[in-house]
Structure 1
Amino acid sequence: MATAALTWYTPEEYLALERNAEFKSEYIDGRIVAMTGAPDPHVTISLNLHAELRARFRGKACRAWAIDMRVQIEGGRRYTYPDVVALCGEKRFIDGVLDTLVNPALIVEVLSPSTEAYDRGEKFLHYRMIETLQEYVLVAQDKPLVERFVRHGEFWHLATVTGLDAALELTSVGCTIPLREIYENVEFPAPAKAAAPVADANPS
Protein backbone atom coordinates (compact mmCIF):
# COMPACT_ATOMS: atom_id res chain seq x y z
CA MET A 1 0.00 0.00 0.00
CA ALA A 2 1.37 3.40 -0.96
CA THR A 3 1.99 5.87 1.86
CA ALA A 4 1.71 9.62 1.39
CA ALA A 5 5.03 11.38 1.83
CA LEU A 6 5.36 13.75 4.77
CA THR A 7 6.06 17.39 4.00
CA TRP A 8 8.79 18.99 6.09
CA TYR A 9 9.02 22.71 6.76
CA THR A 10 11.70 24.98 8.14
CA PRO A 11 10.78 27.15 11.14
CA GLU A 12 10.77 30.16 8.82
CA GLU A 13 8.36 28.46 6.42
CA TYR A 14 6.09 27.47 9.30
CA LEU A 15 5.94 31.01 10.69
CA ALA A 16 5.23 32.49 7.27
CA LEU A 17 2.35 30.06 6.75
CA GLU A 18 1.05 30.30 10.32
CA ARG A 19 0.89 34.08 10.33
CA ASN A 20 -1.49 33.96 7.37
CA ALA A 21 -3.43 30.84 8.33
CA GLU A 22 -7.10 30.82 9.25
CA PHE A 23 -6.63 28.09 11.87
CA LYS A 24 -3.80 27.52 14.35
CA SER A 25 -1.18 24.79 13.95
CA GLU A 26 1.79 23.81 16.08
CA TYR A 27 5.27 23.00 14.76
CA ILE A 28 7.20 19.90 15.84
CA ASP A 29 10.65 19.22 14.35
CA GLY A 30 9.70 20.12 10.78
CA ARG A 31 6.08 18.98 10.88
CA ILE A 32 3.06 21.24 11.00
CA VAL A 33 0.33 19.78 13.22
CA ALA A 34 -3.17 21.24 13.01
CA MET A 35 -4.86 22.01 16.32
CA THR A 36 -8.36 20.79 17.02
CA GLY A 37 -11.13 22.67 18.79
CA ALA A 38 -11.57 22.42 22.56
CA PRO A 39 -14.78 21.68 24.51
CA ASP A 40 -16.51 24.31 26.63
CA PRO A 41 -14.97 23.30 30.00
CA HIS A 42 -11.47 23.48 28.51
CA VAL A 43 -12.03 26.96 27.07
CA THR A 44 -13.85 28.20 30.18
CA ILE A 45 -11.03 27.12 32.51
CA SER A 46 -8.40 28.75 30.28
CA LEU A 47 -10.28 32.05 30.11
CA ASN A 48 -11.11 32.01 33.84
CA LEU A 49 -7.45 31.56 34.74
CA HIS A 50 -6.40 34.27 32.30
CA ALA A 51 -8.98 36.68 33.73
CA GLU A 52 -7.83 36.01 37.31
CA LEU A 53 -4.19 36.58 36.35
CA ARG A 54 -5.03 39.83 34.55
CA ALA A 55 -6.92 41.10 37.59
CA ARG A 56 -3.95 40.38 39.85
CA PHE A 57 -1.46 41.89 37.41
CA ARG A 58 -2.99 45.35 37.42
CA GLY A 59 -0.34 47.88 38.37
CA LYS A 60 2.45 45.29 37.96
CA ALA A 61 4.94 44.64 35.19
CA CYS A 62 3.32 41.28 34.47
CA ARG A 63 1.38 39.95 31.51
CA ALA A 64 -0.76 36.90 30.73
CA TRP A 65 -2.08 35.50 27.45
CA ALA A 66 -4.67 32.81 26.80
CA ILE A 67 -4.87 30.34 23.92
CA ASP A 68 -3.48 32.52 21.10
CA MET A 69 0.09 33.34 22.17
CA ARG A 70 2.62 31.16 20.36
CA VAL A 71 5.74 30.05 22.29
CA GLN A 72 9.08 29.19 20.72
CA ILE A 73 10.95 26.16 22.11
CA GLU A 74 14.53 25.00 21.49
CA GLY A 75 15.41 27.91 19.24
CA GLY A 76 12.65 27.14 16.75
CA ARG A 77 12.52 23.35 16.69
CA ARG A 78 9.04 23.61 18.19
CA TYR A 79 6.27 26.17 18.41
CA THR A 80 3.24 25.61 20.62
CA TYR A 81 0.11 27.43 21.79
CA PRO A 82 -0.21 26.92 25.58
CA ASP A 83 -3.66 27.39 27.10
CA VAL A 84 -2.25 30.14 29.32
CA VAL A 85 1.21 31.70 29.43
CA ALA A 86 2.47 34.47 31.71
CA LEU A 87 5.55 36.32 32.93
CA CYS A 88 6.65 39.31 34.95
CA GLY A 89 9.26 41.69 33.62
CA GLU A 90 10.55 42.08 30.07
CA LYS A 91 8.60 40.38 27.26
CA ARG A 92 10.78 38.99 24.48
CA PHE A 93 9.48 38.07 21.02
CA ILE A 94 11.12 36.80 17.84
CA ASP A 95 11.34 38.63 14.49
CA GLY A 96 10.17 41.92 15.99
CA VAL A 97 6.61 40.63 15.60
CA LEU A 98 4.62 40.45 18.83
CA ASP A 99 3.11 37.00 18.27
CA THR A 100 5.79 34.50 19.37
CA LEU A 101 7.05 34.62 22.95
CA VAL A 102 10.45 33.20 23.88
CA ASN A 103 10.67 33.82 27.66
CA PRO A 104 7.58 32.54 29.52
CA ALA A 105 7.84 32.09 33.28
CA LEU A 106 4.53 30.22 33.65
CA ILE A 107 2.82 27.81 31.25
CA VAL A 108 -0.60 26.26 31.93
CA GLU A 109 -2.18 23.40 30.00
CA VAL A 110 -5.76 22.25 30.58
CA LEU A 111 -5.87 18.47 30.32
CA SER A 112 -8.04 16.66 27.79
CA PRO A 113 -8.33 12.88 27.26
CA SER A 114 -6.72 13.15 23.83
CA THR A 115 -3.75 15.30 24.93
CA GLU A 116 -3.11 14.42 28.59
CA ALA A 117 -0.34 11.91 27.91
CA TYR A 118 1.42 14.38 25.58
CA ASP A 119 1.05 17.30 28.01
CA ARG A 120 2.49 15.23 30.86
CA GLY A 121 5.23 13.59 28.83
CA GLU A 122 6.84 14.78 25.62
CA LYS A 123 5.49 18.34 25.74
CA PHE A 124 6.66 18.88 29.31
CA LEU A 125 10.05 17.41 28.40
CA HIS A 126 10.50 20.11 25.78
CA TYR A 127 8.98 22.89 27.87
CA ARG A 128 11.65 22.18 30.49
CA MET A 129 14.27 23.31 27.97
CA ILE A 130 12.93 26.89 28.13
CA GLU A 131 15.44 28.50 30.49
CA THR A 132 13.01 31.15 31.75
CA LEU A 133 10.22 28.70 32.60
CA GLN A 134 9.71 28.42 36.38
CA GLU A 135 6.27 26.78 36.70
CA TYR A 136 4.30 24.30 34.62
CA VAL A 137 0.68 23.81 35.65
CA LEU A 138 -1.73 21.07 34.56
CA VAL A 139 -5.43 21.66 35.20
CA ALA A 140 -8.00 18.85 35.11
CA GLN A 141 -11.31 19.75 33.48
CA ASP A 142 -13.45 16.94 34.93
CA LYS A 143 -12.75 17.66 38.62
CA PRO A 144 -11.19 20.44 40.74
CA LEU A 145 -7.59 19.24 40.57
CA VAL A 146 -4.45 21.18 39.67
CA GLU A 147 -0.87 19.86 39.46
CA ARG A 148 1.90 22.42 39.78
CA PHE A 149 5.49 21.66 38.78
CA VAL A 150 8.08 24.14 40.10
CA ARG A 151 11.68 24.38 38.91
CA HIS A 152 14.37 24.01 41.57
CA GLY A 153 17.68 24.07 39.74
CA GLU A 154 17.79 20.97 37.54
CA PHE A 155 14.79 19.39 39.25
CA TRP A 156 11.03 19.93 39.13
CA HIS A 157 8.97 19.52 42.29
CA LEU A 158 5.29 18.57 42.13
CA ALA A 159 2.54 19.95 44.35
CA THR A 160 -1.09 18.87 43.93
CA VAL A 161 -4.01 21.16 44.79
CA THR A 162 -7.50 19.70 44.96
CA GLY A 163 -10.98 20.83 45.95
CA LEU A 164 -12.85 24.05 45.24
CA ASP A 165 -11.91 25.46 48.65
CA ALA A 166 -8.17 25.16 47.89
CA ALA A 167 -5.99 27.78 46.20
CA LEU A 168 -3.24 27.65 43.59
CA GLU A 169 -0.07 29.52 44.51
CA LEU A 170 1.95 30.74 41.52
CA THR A 171 5.34 31.92 42.74
CA SER A 172 6.67 32.62 39.24
CA VAL A 173 4.23 35.52 38.86
CA GLY A 174 3.62 36.27 42.55
CA CYS A 175 -0.07 35.53 43.04
CA THR A 176 -2.56 33.02 44.44
CA ILE A 177 -5.84 32.01 42.77
CA PRO A 178 -8.68 30.06 44.43
CA LEU A 179 -9.69 26.94 42.52
CA ARG A 180 -13.28 28.08 42.85
CA GLU A 181 -12.43 31.00 40.53
CA ILE A 182 -10.56 28.78 38.07
CA TYR A 183 -13.55 26.43 37.78
CA GLU A 184 -16.29 29.07 37.75
CA ASN A 185 -19.15 28.03 35.40
CA VAL A 186 -17.61 24.59 34.83
CA GLU A 187 -20.00 21.66 35.27
CA PHE A 188 -18.30 18.46 36.35
CA PRO A 189 -19.56 15.10 35.08
CA ALA A 190 -21.76 13.18 37.51
CA PRO A 191 -19.91 10.35 39.28
CA ALA A 192 -20.53 6.94 37.82
CA LYS A 193 -23.09 4.90 39.70
CA ALA A 194 -21.93 1.64 41.20
CA ALA A 195 -23.38 -1.42 39.50
CA ALA A 196 -26.10 -3.22 41.46
CA PRO A 197 -25.01 -6.62 42.83
CA VAL A 198 -26.09 -9.58 40.77
CA ALA A 199 -28.46 -11.92 42.63
CA ASP A 200 -27.39 -15.51 42.95
CA ALA A 201 -29.47 -17.51 40.46
CA ASN A 202 -28.99 -20.74 42.48
CA PRO A 203 -29.26 -19.93 46.16
CA SER A 204 -28.34 -22.80 48.46
Structure 2
Amino acid sequence: MTVQPKEENKMTPAQYLEMERSSLDIRHEFFNGEIFAMVGAKINHIRINVNLTGELRNKFKEENSSCEVLPNDMRVKIETGYVYPDIAISCGDAKFEDNAFDTLTNPVVIMEILSESTEAFDRGKKFAYYRTISTLQEYLLVSQDEYHVEQYIRREYGKWEYCSYKGADQILKIKSINCELPLSEIYWGIQFELS
Protein backbone atom coordinates (compact mmCIF):
# COMPACT_ATOMS: atom_id res chain seq x y z
CA MET A 1 0.00 0.00 0.00
CA THR A 2 1.10 3.52 -0.63
CA VAL A 3 1.21 5.90 2.30
CA GLN A 4 0.36 9.48 1.40
CA PRO A 5 0.62 12.30 3.96
CA LYS A 6 -2.65 14.11 4.48
CA GLU A 7 -2.40 17.88 4.51
CA GLU A 8 -4.02 18.89 7.80
CA ASN A 9 -2.99 20.23 11.16
CA LYS A 10 -1.93 17.84 13.86
CA MET A 11 -4.73 15.92 15.56
CA THR A 12 -5.22 14.38 18.95
CA PRO A 13 -5.72 10.61 19.17
CA ALA A 14 -9.40 11.19 20.04
CA GLN A 15 -9.90 13.41 16.97
CA TYR A 16 -8.18 10.82 14.79
CA LEU A 17 -10.37 7.97 16.07
CA GLU A 18 -13.53 10.01 15.58
CA MET A 19 -12.52 10.84 12.01
CA GLU A 20 -11.36 7.31 11.21
CA ARG A 21 -14.46 5.63 12.58
CA SER A 22 -16.64 7.80 10.34
CA SER A 23 -14.46 7.41 7.23
CA LEU A 24 -16.17 5.04 4.82
CA ASP A 25 -13.77 4.81 1.92
CA ILE A 26 -10.19 5.57 3.02
CA ARG A 27 -8.22 4.29 5.98
CA HIS A 28 -5.61 6.46 7.65
CA GLU A 29 -2.61 5.71 9.82
CA PHE A 30 -1.74 8.10 12.65
CA PHE A 31 1.76 8.90 13.93
CA ASN A 32 2.60 11.62 16.45
CA GLY A 33 -0.44 13.74 15.61
CA GLU A 34 -0.19 13.39 11.81
CA ILE A 35 -2.45 11.30 9.60
CA PHE A 36 -1.52 9.44 6.43
CA ALA A 37 -4.04 8.12 3.91
CA MET A 38 -3.61 4.48 2.88
CA VAL A 39 -4.16 4.11 -0.84
CA GLY A 40 -3.80 1.44 -3.50
CA ALA A 41 -2.23 -1.99 -3.62
CA LYS A 42 -0.92 -3.99 -6.56
CA ILE A 43 -2.32 -7.39 -7.44
CA ASN A 44 0.66 -9.34 -6.03
CA HIS A 45 0.22 -7.54 -2.70
CA ILE A 46 -3.47 -8.46 -2.58
CA ARG A 47 -2.87 -12.10 -3.62
CA ILE A 48 -0.11 -12.59 -1.06
CA ASN A 49 -2.36 -11.13 1.65
CA VAL A 50 -5.19 -13.49 0.68
CA ASN A 51 -2.79 -16.48 0.58
CA LEU A 52 -1.35 -15.68 4.02
CA THR A 53 -4.75 -15.03 5.58
CA GLY A 54 -6.21 -18.22 4.12
CA GLU A 55 -3.26 -20.45 5.07
CA LEU A 56 -3.10 -19.09 8.61
CA ARG A 57 -6.86 -19.40 9.16
CA ASN A 58 -6.83 -23.00 7.94
CA LYS A 59 -3.89 -23.92 10.17
CA PHE A 60 -5.47 -22.31 13.23
CA LYS A 61 -8.76 -24.08 12.49
CA GLU A 62 -7.09 -27.49 11.95
CA GLU A 63 -5.16 -27.22 15.20
CA ASN A 64 -8.06 -25.73 17.17
CA SER A 65 -5.67 -22.89 18.01
CA SER A 66 -6.59 -19.91 20.16
CA CYS A 67 -4.85 -17.71 17.58
CA GLU A 68 -6.75 -15.56 15.10
CA VAL A 69 -5.59 -13.96 11.86
CA LEU A 70 -6.80 -10.40 11.33
CA PRO A 71 -6.36 -8.86 7.86
CA ASN A 72 -5.53 -5.27 6.98
CA ASP A 73 -8.78 -3.69 8.18
CA MET A 74 -7.81 -4.27 11.83
CA ARG A 75 -6.29 -1.16 13.33
CA VAL A 76 -3.45 -1.71 15.85
CA LYS A 77 -2.50 0.66 18.66
CA ILE A 78 1.14 1.68 18.87
CA GLU A 79 2.79 3.95 21.43
CA THR A 80 2.59 7.04 19.21
CA GLY A 81 -0.57 6.35 17.25
CA TYR A 82 -2.45 3.80 15.16
CA VAL A 83 -1.54 1.64 12.17
CA TYR A 84 -3.10 -0.90 9.82
CA PRO A 85 -0.67 -3.79 9.36
CA ASP A 86 -1.30 -6.06 6.40
CA ILE A 87 -1.84 -8.93 8.84
CA ALA A 88 -2.01 -9.03 12.64
CA ILE A 89 -2.30 -12.22 14.68
CA SER A 90 -3.59 -12.36 18.23
CA CYS A 91 -3.70 -15.41 20.48
CA GLY A 92 -5.98 -16.07 23.42
CA ASP A 93 -8.38 -13.24 24.08
CA ALA A 94 -7.97 -10.34 21.67
CA LYS A 95 -7.72 -7.10 23.61
CA PHE A 96 -9.00 -3.79 22.30
CA GLU A 97 -8.44 -0.16 23.20
CA ASP A 98 -12.13 0.48 23.93
CA ASN A 99 -15.63 -0.90 23.47
CA ALA A 100 -15.65 -0.11 19.76
CA PHE A 101 -13.56 -3.31 19.36
CA ASP A 102 -11.79 -1.92 16.31
CA THR A 103 -8.29 -1.23 17.69
CA LEU A 104 -6.24 -4.28 18.68
CA THR A 105 -3.71 -3.78 21.48
CA ASN A 106 -2.15 -7.27 21.83
CA PRO A 107 -0.87 -8.62 18.52
CA VAL A 108 1.62 -11.49 18.78
CA VAL A 109 2.69 -11.44 15.12
CA ILE A 110 2.56 -8.62 12.58
CA MET A 111 3.19 -9.04 8.85
CA GLU A 112 3.82 -6.34 6.28
CA ILE A 113 3.88 -7.02 2.54
CA LEU A 114 6.57 -4.78 1.12
CA SER A 115 6.01 -2.33 -1.70
CA GLU A 116 8.37 0.19 -3.28
CA SER A 117 6.64 3.12 -1.62
CA THR A 118 6.51 1.67 1.92
CA GLU A 119 9.52 -0.67 2.18
CA ALA A 120 11.92 1.80 3.82
CA PHE A 121 9.24 2.88 6.32
CA ASP A 122 8.20 -0.73 7.09
CA ARG A 123 11.83 -1.67 7.78
CA GLY A 124 12.66 1.46 9.75
CA LYS A 125 10.30 3.71 11.68
CA LYS A 126 7.29 1.39 11.48
CA PHE A 127 9.30 -1.51 12.88
CA ALA A 128 10.50 0.82 15.66
CA TYR A 129 6.85 1.65 16.43
CA TYR A 130 5.93 -2.04 16.44
CA ARG A 131 8.76 -2.90 18.84
CA THR A 132 7.01 -0.79 21.50
CA ILE A 133 4.08 -3.27 21.55
CA SER A 134 4.91 -5.48 24.55
CA THR A 135 2.97 -8.51 23.25
CA LEU A 136 4.62 -8.55 19.81
CA GLN A 137 6.86 -11.60 19.39
CA GLU A 138 7.50 -11.70 15.64
CA TYR A 139 7.56 -9.22 12.77
CA LEU A 140 7.57 -10.47 9.18
CA LEU A 141 8.40 -8.59 6.00
CA VAL A 142 7.08 -10.32 2.88
CA SER A 143 8.47 -9.39 -0.53
CA GLN A 144 6.03 -9.17 -3.41
CA ASP A 145 8.83 -9.30 -6.01
CA GLU A 146 10.40 -12.68 -5.19
CA TYR A 147 10.12 -15.68 -2.88
CA HIS A 148 11.52 -13.93 0.18
CA VAL A 149 10.27 -13.49 3.75
CA GLU A 150 12.30 -11.76 6.46
CA GLN A 151 11.53 -12.50 10.08
CA TYR A 152 12.40 -10.65 13.28
CA ILE A 153 11.93 -12.61 16.51
CA ARG A 154 11.89 -10.94 19.93
CA ARG A 155 14.41 -12.51 22.28
CA GLU A 156 15.33 -11.76 25.89
CA TYR A 157 16.19 -8.21 26.94
CA GLY A 158 14.47 -6.65 23.93
CA LYS A 159 16.89 -8.05 21.36
CA TRP A 160 15.53 -9.03 17.93
CA GLU A 161 16.90 -11.97 15.97
CA TYR A 162 16.83 -11.84 12.16
CA CYS A 163 16.03 -14.80 9.88
CA SER A 164 15.69 -14.84 6.10
CA TYR A 165 13.75 -17.36 3.99
CA LYS A 166 14.47 -17.20 0.27
CA GLY A 167 13.22 -19.58 -2.42
CA ALA A 168 10.04 -21.50 -3.20
CA ASP A 169 11.26 -24.57 -1.31
CA GLN A 170 11.70 -22.76 2.03
CA ILE A 171 9.34 -23.23 4.98
CA LEU A 172 8.68 -20.22 7.22
CA LYS A 173 8.62 -21.20 10.90
CA ILE A 174 6.60 -18.84 13.12
CA LYS A 175 7.33 -20.25 16.56
CA SER A 176 5.23 -17.85 18.62
CA ILE A 177 2.06 -19.22 16.99
CA ASN A 178 3.39 -22.75 16.40
CA CYS A 179 2.96 -22.50 12.64
CA GLU A 180 4.91 -23.45 9.53
CA LEU A 181 4.11 -21.98 6.12
CA PRO A 182 5.75 -23.10 2.88
CA LEU A 183 6.77 -20.11 0.77
CA SER A 184 5.23 -21.95 -2.18
CA GLU A 185 1.82 -21.48 -0.48
CA ILE A 186 2.45 -17.86 0.49
CA TYR A 187 3.28 -17.12 -3.15
CA TRP A 188 0.69 -19.42 -4.74
CA GLY A 189 -0.57 -17.89 -8.00
CA ILE A 190 1.96 -15.04 -7.95
CA GLN A 191 3.67 -14.01 -11.16
CA PHE A 192 6.81 -12.01 -10.52
CA GLU A 193 7.70 -9.16 -12.85
CA LEU A 194 10.95 -9.72 -14.73
CA SER A 195 13.52 -6.96 -14.33
TM-score band w.r.t. shorter chain: over 0.9
Residue of structure 2 equivalent to 1:15: 17
Match status 1:132 vs 2:135: yes
1:77-116: CA deviation from partner (whole Å, max 9, x where unpaired): 2100000110211210011122110000000000001110
> What residue in structure 1 maps to residue 96 of structure 2?
93
Unmatched tracts of structure 1, length 5 or more: 193-204
> Alignment partner for residue 69 of structure 1, among 71, 74, 78?
74
Q: Give yes or no for contact 1:87–1:172 (8 Å, CA) kept in 2.
A: no
Of 151, 155, 159, the match for 1:155 = 159
Task: Work out whether 1:165 is the aligned partner of 2:169.
Answer: yes
Distance 1:33 1:189 in 2: 28
> AA paired with 1:130?
I
> Structure 1 residue 180 and structure 2 residue 184: aligned?
yes
Q: Deviations over 1:54-75 (max 9, x none)?
A: 001112211011111000001x
* Cα deviation, residue 46, structure 1: 1.1
SS in 2 for 1:19: helix
Partner of 1:202: none
Amino acid at match of 1:117: A
Pick one of 53, 60, 65 that aligns with 2:65.
Answer: 60
| Distance of 1:126 and 1:26 partners within structure 2 | 12
Tell me the secondary structure at the aligned position of residue 35 of structure 1: strand
Query: In 2, distance between residues paired with 1:162 and 1:17?
Result: 41
CA distance, structure 1, for counterparts of residue 22 and residue 90 of structure 2: 27
* Partner in structure 1 of residue 83 of structure 2: 80
Contact kept, 8 Å, 1:134 with 1:172, in 2: the verdict is yes
Give the TM-score, by structure 1 length: 0.88
Deviations 1:1-29, CA, capped at 9 Å, x for gaps: xxxx8411111111111011021011111
The alpha carbon displacement at 1:32 in A equals 1.3
Distance 2:186 2:140 in 1: 13
Cα distance between partner residues in 2 of 1:181 and 1:17: 38
How many aligned residue pairs are there? 185
Match in the other structure for 2:3: none
Partner of 1:122: 125
Residue 51 of structure 2 aligns with which residue?
48
* Alpha-carbon separation, structure 2, partners of 1:7 and 1:118: 22
Select the structure that is richer in helix.
2
Query: Do structure 1's residue 38 and structure 2's residue 41 form an aligned pair?
Result: yes
Q: Tell me, which stretches of 5 or more residues in structure 2 are unaligned?
A: 1-6
1:29-55 CA distance string (max 9 Å, x none): 111111111101011111110111100
